[in-house]
Amino acid sequence: MKIRYSFIVLIVCLFAFKPADEKVTIWLVGDSTIAEKLITRYPETGWGMAFQNYFDLSKVTIENRAKNGRSTKTFLAEGSWLPIQQNLKAGDYVLIQFGHNDEGKGERYKDRSTTPDEFKINLVKYIDETKSKNAIPVLITPVSRRYFDKDGNIKQTHEFYSDVVRGLAKSQQVILIDLDEMSRKLYQKYGSENSKLLFLDIAPNQHPNYPNGVTDGTHFNEYGARLIAELVLNEIKAQKLPLSKFIVNSN
Amino acid sequence: MNKKSYLALLGVFFLLAFKLSENPKITVYLIGDSTLSIKEKKNYPETGWGMPFTQFFDENVNIDNRAMNGRSTRSFIEEKRWEPVVSSLKKGDYVFVQFGHNDEISTKKTYTTPKEFKANLLKYIKETRAKKAIPILLTPVARRKFDAEGKVVDTHQEYAQLVREVAGKNKVLLIDLSAKSIELLQSLGVEKSKYLFNHLEAGQNPNYPDGKIDDTHFNELGARLMAQLVLTEIKTLNLTLANYIVKPAEPKK
């Protein structure tokens, strides 16, 4: 018994001294277009949900902290950023995609909207605090809404706020993924009608979560979320970010 | 501890034991092939329709998806995949049976003659009923195949018809998924129907670096649309199961 006891003590000691988890973490920070959804909202799907399916999770951890309805301002104010900032390790990545709720107009967005200047200041805060931990910020322009003109051409839906992100990426020398641009190209490829297949667009009496149907040109279904995740994954590879080595079948 | 409180405690234990042993849940077993099975992550976005189907029911229903890639009515039995289903069946459970894709191809190892196919379906039905559970037969879900005029080609004609016959003769509830899915593919047409299947360009998806053109297996969208077709038929047939379809959450503002 005595021997067995000391053996257990030894094991416990070994565990205590085992270095902290050295796995790189990819933090996803943003709004409903990325966020995990409740099963009661399916098939609404954030692109972060599909994104994590394509990483080797034995080598990297994905933390999808994006939340429905958040702007750069409310994500900070409510304390969603703080625990991320505190837990960041050197070599971690922070993927930041905001804009939908920052640019919102009217009563519904009163509590969350930001001016382009505020938007910029907030993004700089995310960038600086990420860099101060020797982690790597990645700026992502807001994924486009599905909005076509009468001639079937996709229209910009985030003009000013995407430009702020692009400008900041340049001035702060931050990696940029121009998802706004890439997603518009994708919708254009599908066209006005077929691009509905990517969004939460359901006729009445088809899906039990939406008995009256739903028409949403902002939020993705499981298919759209995966296509958007593929755009981000392929851009990570195209820019040869060190992050690409964690994507499955990347070698 | 006095004798009284000891007995009370014992009583509580008995009640708990009873409570745990009685399982109020209905289990719906799905047996069949790759078109409904659960996929490994490395094969995503390929999706079986049984995967989203699970999300349509509330806590009173347990969907147990036992479907396996590549199986026919015969190989499913031979590999002893049916036995454990039978032994765990309880009164009021359902068994959804959808085979055909691997039965009907004469060059496949899993090939089953029409006669064997009917006999195997009958075995599933009888053994389900012997446990006072409810068998539901489904005709095989359609492949994406169009003729030159843009009309869907029924690739399961013979075996789908066998399922209908067995259902009719044995008074088994039938979900004619073959017909319903052909209707859906027809309404979408040659081009748009591609978006329901595992069609991937080279370099598009990390799991398929060389791309993929698969007109049999669904992606996540196609799987969900097929599952919705099955759900609609469950409502039409007025199955008890329909009482346990999830109710919508409070409407979003």
Q: What is the CATH number of the domain that holds A104?
A: 3.40.50.1110
- In B84-113, the residues whose Cβ lies within 8 Å of chain A are none
Instruction: Tell me, yes or no, if A109 comes closer than 8 A to chain B by beta carbon.
Output: no
What percent of chain A is modeled with pLDDT above 70? 91
| Residue pLDDT, tens place only, B146-196 | 999 999 999 999 999 999 999 999 999 999 999 999 999 999 999 999 999
Residue B4 belongs to a domain? no
Instruction: Tell me, yes or no, if B250 comes closer than 8 A to chain A by beta carbon.
Output: no
Smallest Cβ–Cβ distance between B248 and the set A194, A197, A210 belongs to A210
Axis crossing angle, helix A159-171 with helix A116-131, rounded to the nearest 10:
40
Residue B12 belongs to a domain? no
Instruction: Tell me, yes or no, if B55 comes closer than 8 A to chain A by beta carbon.
Output: yes
Residue A3 belongs to a domain? no
Which two structure tokens, joined as six digits, stand for A243? 């992050």
**Average pLDDT of the segment spanning A87-102:** 97
8 Å CB contact between A184 and A162 = no
User: Using CA atoms, how far apart are residues B85 and B30, in angstroms rounded to an integer?
Assistant: 10
Q: Is A105 helix (H, G, I), strand (E, B) or coil?
A: coil
Instruction: Tell me, yes or no, if B212 comes closer than 8 A to chain A by beta carbon.
Output: no
Please determine, for residue B18, whether its predicted confidence score (pLDDT) is greater than 60. Answer: no
Please determine, for residue B11, whether its predicted confidence score (pLDDT) is greater than 90. Answer: no
**Average pLDDT of the segment spanning A211-233:** 98
Chain B residues touching A206 at Cβ < 8 A: 228, 232
pLDDT band at A250 (very low <50, low <70, confident <90, very high): confident
Shortest CA gap A170–chain B (Å) = 28
Number of domains in chain B: 1
- In A43-102, the residues whose Cβ lies within 8 Å of chain B are 43, 53-54
Which two structure tokens, joined as six digits, stand for B143? 């492949």
Q: Is A5 helix (H, G, I), strand (E, B) or coil?
A: helix
Q: Is B146 helix (H, G, I), strand (E, B) or coil?
A: strand
Tell me the CATH number at B234. 3.40.50.1110
User: Using CA atoms, how far apart are residues A230 and A238, in angstroms rounded to an integer?
Assistant: 12
Residue A1 belongs to a domain? no
Shortest CA gap B41–chain A (Å) = 7
Residue B6 belongs to a domain? no
Residue B252 belongs to a domain? no
pLDDT at A21: 58
pLDDT at B22: 52
Shortest CA gap B24–chain A (Å) = 22
pLDDT at B164: 98
| Residue pLDDT, tens place only, A127-172 | 999 999 999 999 999 999 999 999 999 999 998 999 999 999 999 9
| Residue pLDDT, tens place only, B215-237 | 999 999 999 999 999 999 999 99
Instruction: Tell me, yes or no, if A9 comes closer than 8 A to chain B by beta carbon.
Output: no
pLDDT at B249: 77
For the beta carbon of residue B106, count every other beta carbon within 10 angstroms: 8
Residue B250 belongs to a domain? no
Which of B188, B221, B231, B243 should we substitute to test contact with A (largest number of A Cβ atoms within 10 Å)? Answer: B221
Chain B nearest-CA residue for A56 = B42
**Average pLDDT of the segment spanning A183-209:** 97
Phi/psi for B89 (5° steps) reads -65, 135
Instruction: Tell me, yes or no, if B24 comes closer than 8 A to chain A by beta carbon.
Output: no
Number of inter-chain CB pairs under 8 A, A vs B: 62
| Domain extent at residue A64 | 23-246
Residue A2 belongs to a domain? no
pLDDT at A135: 98
Beta bridge partners of B134: B94
Instruction: Tell me, yes or no, if A153 comes closer than 8 A to chain B by beta carbon.
Output: no
Residue A17 belongs to a domain? no
Please determine, for residue B253, whether its predicted confidence score (pLDDT) is greater than 50. Answer: no
Please determine, for residue A234, whether its predicted confidence score (pLDDT) is greater than 60. Answer: yes
Residue B205 belongs to a domain? yes
Number of domains in chain A: 1
Half-sphere exposure of A80 (CA within 13 A, CB side): 22
Instruction: Tell me, yes or no, if A197 comes closer than 8 A to chain B by beta carbon.
Output: yes
User: What ipTM does this complex have?
Assistant: 0.90
